[in-house]
Structure 1
Amino acid sequence: MARVKDVCRHVRSKNAGPFWVTIDFFFDGPESFARYADSPVLGPELFARLFGADPALVKRFAAPSLNVVKVSYPRAAPQGGMVERDMHAGQQYVRLLDVELDAA
């Protein structure tokens, strides 16, 4: 099975406001995008398991012309709180790199 880091040329995470995080999956080409963009593995259950997000609130957007999938989920605590460990959400993507994808 292909892992995220094998089929994406870049994966990044960032703030989407003080209450949300967005992960961008930049697939390495249209073939990888067509094969893996709709993979059920990149669904709400993954973000619930890895980040404690409510699966009902996870949002997924595809941009086929860019070979990109964006997934947004609510933060467990607002940005800048007392227990904040990644204020800009720049390190959140790391947990996703070794996720194995099924072809859609």
Structure 2
Amino acid sequence: MTRLKDIAKACKSKNAGPFHITLDIMFDDAQLFDRVRATGVITPALIAHLYRVPVESVLFTEYPPALAWKATIARRIASGAVGDTDVYGAQQHAPLLDIEVPL
């Protein structure tokens, strides 16, 4: 097993408006992307589990031409609202880093 943080070019998060976060997983090697893709590990169900949201609320896109996956989920607290600790949504990618991939 290897962790995503050791093989992906980037794992990042950002606001997708004030009420949603977009998560990106990107590779810079097509063969490695294809190997990870073939494992079937990166799925809407995994994102839902990691972020504790219902799977049907995960907008999930696998985009092979860019060697990437993108998922959008609702923010628990609106960006900039009282109690928000990450107004830009830039620190929400951490759960992606430790995804274990059976390569």
Relative to the length of structure 2, the TM-score reads 0.85
Whole-angstrom CA distance in 1 between matches of 2:16 and 2:38: 22
> 1:9, CA displacement in angstroms?
1.0
Retained in 2: the 8 A contact 1:63–1:69?
A: yes
**Equivalence map 1:1-104=2 (5 Å):** 1-37=1-37, 39-102=39-102
Q: Structure 2: where are the runs of 5+ without partners?
A: none
Q: How many residues are paired up?
A: 103
Whole-angstrom CA distance in 1 between matches of 2:11 and 2:85: 20
Query: After TM superposition, which residue ranges in structure 1, 4 or more long, deviate above 6 angstroms?
Result: none
SS at match of 2:10: strand
Per mean C-alpha deviation after superposition, the further-off stretch among 57-66 and 41-50 is 41-50
Relative to the length of structure 1, the TM-score reads 0.84
> 1:28, CA displacement in angstroms?
3.1
SS at match of 1:96: helix
Whole-angstrom CA distance in 1 between matches of 2:9 and 2:43: 20
Distance change in 2, residues 1:57/1:40 (3 Å): farther
Q: For each residue in 1:46-93, what CA deviation from the matched residue of structure 2 results, as whole angstroms up to 9, or x when unmatched?
A: 333332222111011122121111111111122122110111110111
Q: Percent identity?
A: 33
